[in-house]
Amino acid sequence: MKLNSEEVNAIALESRLLLTEEELSNAVRYINNFLDMLDRFKELNLENVEPFSFAETLECPLREDTVISFTNTQAIFDESEHVDGAFFKVPRIMEE
């Protein structure tokens, strides 16, 4: 086993996920099976291989740098319960 439940729980917390005991036990099994599957990469010599990119999009097509007006901002605010005037209001960021 590559990762124990403590390590998997720490990764889950990094992802801002709180797992139940059952979820954690499933996640431990899942991650370890998954990492075992990825072990087969070690059979390949990847030293001189470049990471993948689509040949045609190596040069990312750029748009003209012009302002496009978006008039439907109210529709965006309407979807949030954390709006204060023209701003999103979030809970405190600094921990006490």
Cα separation of 32 and 4, whole Å?
Answer: 9
Residues that bind other proteins (CB under 8 A): 3, 8, 11-19, 23, 26-27, 30-31, 33-35, 37-38, 40-41, 44, 46, 49-52, 54, 56-57, 60-61, 63, 72, 75-76, 78-82, 88, 90-93, 95-96
Polymer length in residues for the chain = 96
Residue 69 Cβ, how far from other proteins at the closest point, in Å?
13
Residue 73 Cβ, how far from other proteins at the closest point, in Å?
8
Alpha helices in the chain (DSSP H): 5-14, 21-38, 73-78
